Amino acid sequence: MTILGEMIIGQQCVRGTAGEAFGFNPATRANLEPGFGQATGDDVERACALAGQAFDPYRALPLEQRARFLEAIAEQILAVGPELIERAMLETGLPQARLEGERMRTVTQLRLFAKVVRDGYFMDATVDSALPDRTPPRPDLRLRKIGLGPVVVFGASNFPLAFSVAGGDTASALAAGCPVVVKAHAAHPGTSELVGRAVQRAAKESGVPEGVFSMLYGDGRTVGQQLVAHPAIKAVGFTGSRQGGTALMRTAAGRSEPIPVYAEMSSVNPVFLLPAALQAGGAGLAQGFVDSLTLGVGQFCTNPGLLFALEGADLDAFVKAASEALAGKGAGTMLTAGIHEAYNTGVAKFGQVEGLQLVAQGGEQGTGCAARAALYVCDADTYLGNAALEDEVFGPAAVLVRFKDADQLLKAAEALHGQLTVTVHAQAQDHGVAGALLPILERKAGRVLFNGFPTGVEVAHAMVHGGPFPATSDSRTTSVGASAIDRFLRPVCYQNVPANLLPEALRDENPLGLARLQDGTLQAGGKA
Amino acid sequence: MTILGEMIIGQQCVRGTAGEAFGFNPATRANLEPGFGQATGDDVERACALAGQAFDPYRALPLEQRARFLEAIAEQILAVGPELIERAMLETGLPQARLEGERMRTVTQLRLFAKVVRDGYFMDATVDSALPDRTPPRPDLRLRKIGLGPVVVFGASNFPLAFSVAGGDTASALAAGCPVVVKAHAAHPGTSELVGRAVQRAAKESGVPEGVFSMLYGDGRTVGQQLVAHPAIKAVGFTGSRQGGTALMRTAAGRSEPIPVYAEMSSVNPVFLLPAALQAGGAGLAQGFVDSLTLGVGQFCTNPGLLFALEGADLDAFVKAASEALAGKGAGTMLTAGIHEAYNTGVAKFGQVEGLQLVAQGGEQGTGCAARAALYVCDADTYLGNAALEDEVFGPAAVLVRFKDADQLLKAAEALHGQLTVTVHAQAQDHGVAGALLPILERKAGRVLFNGFPTGVEVAHAMVHGGPFPATSDSRTTSVGASAIDRFLRPVCYQNVPANLLPEALRDENPLGLARLQDGTLQAGGKA
C-alpha cells in the first residue's frame, strides 16, 4: 500500500488543492513524504452533503449489517499490517509496542461497538400500551433512540489510532447510525490515510451508503471550523486542547441550529495520597506514580499531574523515592514540535512560581522533541494562591502539594475544577477521610479510582472518560466505553403509529429480541 | 391560606425588596393584590448558595426518602384546595376544569417521578467485574449516574401548575437528586406562592435539606440571568419563547463553566393530511383539528399551527368544514396581555403575506385579552417563499398549505425546522407516502403521531416532548415523561473502590435490587 496524500470522500480518493502539508518526524525534526493536499471549501461541502444523504439509508440498515461494518473496519485496519505501525512510529515518535497495543485497542473498541449495536440496549426501547378505556384514553406510545445525524470527528494527536480516524468517536458515532466526517490530525496524516482507506474498503465491502465515511486534511481554524458550521453536521467529537475545544464550542453554539460538541480537553487528574496509604505504599507507590507520570512521555489525558498529601515523614520518603525513580527515566520524544514547545513553556512557568520547588527531573533533554520529566513540590498556600497550578501542562510534569491536615485537603478538593479522573490512595485507616472525599470527588470527575493510577483507560461498559468542564465540554457523557454511543442519540416517540410502519425495535412481537421498558417494567429481552 | 407576596428561600419566607410586581387578571385587565416583592442579587445568592450546600446531603438520602418527598409535594399541593384553582383562574384566565385537570397532571407527574426514583433505572447501574488474570489485568469498574447539581427552573406561563413551580422540570430535577431554585413566572405569582409554600412544607415534613427548594420572583433579564450565571447552578430548565430561551443559552454557554440549558421554545407542529385520510375523515377530521387548534386558546406548545395536504375536492371539503367549525368557536381569554398582543401582531403579519388567504375566523374579539381564532390557506409556492410562515404564532391560528403532489409534500417536510411533534393522518392507502415521510419526520420532531392531534401530551415512560432546534435547545432530551430525569444526570465510574465505600446501587449484593448491566448483560433486577 502506498500513501498518496489523498483524502477520502465517500468512495473517492481526492487530492486536496488548498495547499500541501507534510508529516513530521518529531525524533529527527524532518518532514516526511509525501505531501498531503489540504481540503478546499468544496471538499468540505461534498463530504458533508454526502454524509447528509447517507444518514437515512445508513440508519435504516439492519443492525446486524451495521455491526458487521464496524467489524469489517477492525479487520481492514489489521490487514494494513506493519506499514501502519511503521508510519505511525515515524509520525508520532511513539514506540512500536505502544502502537501495536493501541491498534489492538482500536480494534477492540470497534468490536465492542459491534456488540453494543447487536445488543440494542442503546435504543432504550420503551412501550406504553394504549389504555382505550381510561378517561381520557391513553394512546399507544413507543420510544426508541435514533442517531443525531452526521458527526464531525477531530482526530487526536496523542492517540493516532484509538482516538483518530477510526477511533472511539468514529466507532461510537457509526454505531449510533451516524455518518462520520473525520478531520485528520495534522500530526499523523499518513497514518490517517492508511486507516481512512481501511474504513473506505470496509464501507464498500459492507454495502453501507457511500457518504457514511469521509476524511479530510486541513487546519482546525479553517477546515475544522467549516465542518462544524456545516448545516448537515449535527454533532462534533473532539479530543485536544482547551483552546481548540472551546473554539469549536463557540462555533457550534453560534450556528443557526446549535449542535452538541463533545470536546475532551484538559485535566490534571489529582491523586490523593492518604496517610496510611503513604506509609504502607513505600517506594513501590512512588515507582507506580512515576511510571504513570512518564508513560507515553506523559501525553495522556489521564496523566497524573497533581498530587495532594499530608506533610510528614512518610511524604518526605515518598518524594525521595519518587525523585530517585524519576531520575531513572530517560527523556522521551513528544508527539509534535508544538506539544514539545508547549511542555517546555509550561515547565518554564512552573520555574517562576515562588514557593514551587523543583525536586526531581528525568534524564537530560535528548535530541529532537525529547522532553525531560519533572516533579515539583509546594505547600498548600502556594498551591491555593496560584490558580495556574491547576492548569494542565501536557507532558511528564507533576506538582505535589503538601497539606497540613485533612480539613485543608478537603477544602482543596472542593476547589478543584472538573477532571477526567481523581485518584485516592487509601488503606482501611484512611477510609474516614476517603468517605468524606468521595461525595466531593464525584462532583469533580468522571472517574474516581482507588489505589491505582489514572493512566490506562479500560474500554468497558462501566467506563466513564468524561467529567465536568474544563475536563470536557459536556459532563453528561463519556468518550470511552460502551456508553459513548449515547452522545450521538436522541429519543423519538411514536404515537399510534400503524404496526406496519413501526420500526422493528418497537413492534409488538419484538423481532429484535430487545430489552424494553414495557409499561414501566424493564424486560431484559433475548433474541426471538 | 393567605398569599403574602413572599418568596421561598429554603425554610424561610422572604419579602423581596427590589421593587414590587402584581398579578394581572387577563379577563378584566386589572392588577391583582397583593404586590410581590422582587428578588435582589442577595436573594439570588442566598438561594443558590443554599442549593449548593444541599446537593450532597440531598443526593445522599435513601431513594425511598427522595420518592416520599416527591409524593409529599403532590399531597401538599392537593391540600391547598380550591384556593389554588381560584387564584390560578384569576391570574391566567384558564377555566376551572382545565386547571383542575392540570393540577391532577402535576400530581401525576410527581408520583411518576417517585416511581422512577424507586425503580432506579435512571442510574444506569453497570458493573464490569475485575479480570485479574487478563494481561493487563482489568480493574473492577462500576458506573452509576448522579445529579448534575442545583437546577434553575423557569416557570412557564401556559402551564401555571404542570410546568411551573412544582411542574415537570422541578419534579424531574428533584428526582435526579438535584436541588431546585425556581424563578416564578410573573404571570401567576400568587399561584406560584401557594405551590411554593406547599413544596416548602413537603420539604420540612420529609426531612430533606433546607436548600433543596427555593423560589424567587423577578424579571428574566435580571433575576433570571443572575440565576443562570451563578456558579452553584449546574443546569437550567425553561419553557417559553425562543427569544427568552436563546438568551439563557447564550448566558449558560458564556459562563466560565458552561452548563446545559433545556429550553422548550417554539414549534408549529405540522399536520400532514394524506389523501385517503382526508377523504375518509370528512367533517369529523375538520372538527378534531379545530378542537385541537383552539384548545386552551391555542396556548399549547403542541398546538397544530401548520397543515400540509394535497389539493383537490377532499381538501376543499375539509377547509369548508374546518371553517364552519372555527366560526363556532368563541373568543377565549389569553394568559397575559403580552401573549395577547404578540398573537394579534402575528395574525396581522399573516394578513400582509401575499397569497395567504384568511378563510375562517372564530367568534368576535371579546373583552380583555380575548383572542379570535383564524385559519389561513396558501399554495406551496407562497409557503415555500415565506420562511416566516413556519415561525410560531402562539395562539389559535393555523396555516394550511395546498401541495400539488406527494413529491412536493416530501420536499416541504425535508425543509421543516425542528418541531416538538409532527402528525400524519393516513389510511392504509396512504402508507406508501407515510412510509416515505417517516424517516424525514423522525429527523424533524421528538414525537411522530398518527391519526390524532398533537395537543394532549401524555405523561408516560415512552413520551418525548422535545425535538431539534428551535423546538428545543437540546434534541437529546424530553421535558415530559419519565426520561425527563436523564437531563439532570451524569455518569460516574468507580474503579477499584473498596466495597464499604461504594454507593449502595453498585454493591455486589445489589441491596436496592436495581436493574444492572452486569459484565455486558442486562439483568432486570427486583428488590432484594
Residue ranges of domains in chain B: 46-265+477-487, 271-450
Taking CB atoms and an 8 Å cutoff, what residues of chain B touch A242? none
Q: pLDDT tens digit string along B78-91?
A: 999 999 999 999 99
Indicate the average pLDDT of chain B.
Answer: 97
Taking CB atoms and an 8 Å cutoff, what residues of chain B touch A494? 447-449
pLDDT at B324: 97
Of A249, A481, A495, the CB nearest to B450: A495
Cβ neighbours for B99, distance < 8 A, ≥ 6 positions apart: B85, B88, B89, B92, B160, B161
Q: Count the Cβ atoms, other than its own, within 10 Å of residue B130.
A: 13
Orientation angle between helical segments A63-80 and A189-206, nearest 10 degrees: 140
Taking CB atoms and an 8 Å cutoff, what residues of chain B touch A508? none
Report CB contact under 8 Å: B143, A515: no
Q: Report the distance separating Cα B260 and Cα A354, nearest Å.
A: 38
Of B143, B445, B482, the CB nearest to A462: B143
What are the beta bridge partners of residue B447?
A493, B421
Residue from B144, B490, B502, B512 to probe the interface with A (highest A Cβ count within 10 Å):
B490
The CA-CA-CA angle for residues B41, B163, B424, to 5°, reads 140
Q: Which fold has domain A17-265+477-487?
A: Aldehyde Dehydrogenase; Chain A, domain 1 (3.40.605)
Indicate the average pLDDT of chain A.
Answer: 97
Report CB contact under 8 Å: A501, B60: no
Report CB contact under 8 Å: A451, B515: no
| Blockwise average pLDDT, block size 10, chain A, 528 residues | 93 98 96 98 98 98 98 98 98 97 98 98 98 94 98 97 98 98 98 98 98 97 97 98 96 97 97 98 96 96 98 98 96 95 96 96 86 97 94 96 97 97 98 98 98 96 98 97 98 98 97 96 78
Of A115, A447, A491, the CB nearest to B478: A491
Q: pLDDT tens digit string along B86-140?
A: 999 999 999 999 999 999 999 999 999 999 999 999 999 999 999 999 988 999 9
CB pairs under 8 A between A and B: 235
Q: Which CATH number fits domain B46-265+477-487: 3.30.565.10, 3.40.190.10, 3.60.130.10, 3.40.605.10?
A: 3.40.605.10
Q: How far is B460 from chain A (nearest CA, A)?
A: 7
pLDDT at B111: 98
Report CB contact under 8 Å: A492, B60: no
Q: Report the distance separating Cα B32 and Cα B29, nearest Å.
A: 9
* Residues of B labelled catalytic: 264, 301
CA atoms within 13 A on the CB side of A180: 31
Q: pLDDT tens digit string along B417-459?
A: 999 999 999 999 999 999 999 999 999 999 999 999 999 999 9
Superfamily per CATH, domain A271-450:
Aldehyde Dehydrogenase; Chain A, domain 2 (3.40.309.10)
Of B60, B458, B466, the CB nearest to A439: B60
Reported as type and span, the H/E element at residue B225 is: helix B225-229
Which pLDDT band holds residue B59 (cuts at 50, 70, 90)? very high
Report CB contact under 8 Å: B493, A148: no
User: Percent of chain B scored above 90 by pLDDT?
Assistant: 97
Taking CB atoms and an 8 Å cutoff, what residues of chain A touch B434? 498, 501
Which pLDDT band holds residue B528 (cuts at 50, 70, 90)? very low
Nearest CA in chain B to A494: B448
Q: How far is A496 from chain B (nearest CA, A)?
A: 5
Nearest to A255 by CA among A278, A229, A273: A229
Residue from A248, A391, A490 to probe the interface with B (highest B Cβ count within 10 Å):
A490
Tell me if B46-265+477-487 shares its fold with B271-450.
Answer: no
Over residues B259-285, mean pLDDT: 97
Taking CB atoms and an 8 Å cutoff, what residues of chain A touch B126? 461-462, 483
CA atoms within 13 A on the CB side of B20: 10
pLDDT at B1: 64
Report CB contact under 8 Å: A442, B525: no
Over residues B370-381, mean pLDDT: 97
- How far does chain B reach from its first CA to its final CA, in angstroms? 44
Taking CB atoms and an 8 Å cutoff, what residues of chain B touch A442? 146, 492
- The one-letter amino acid at A107: V
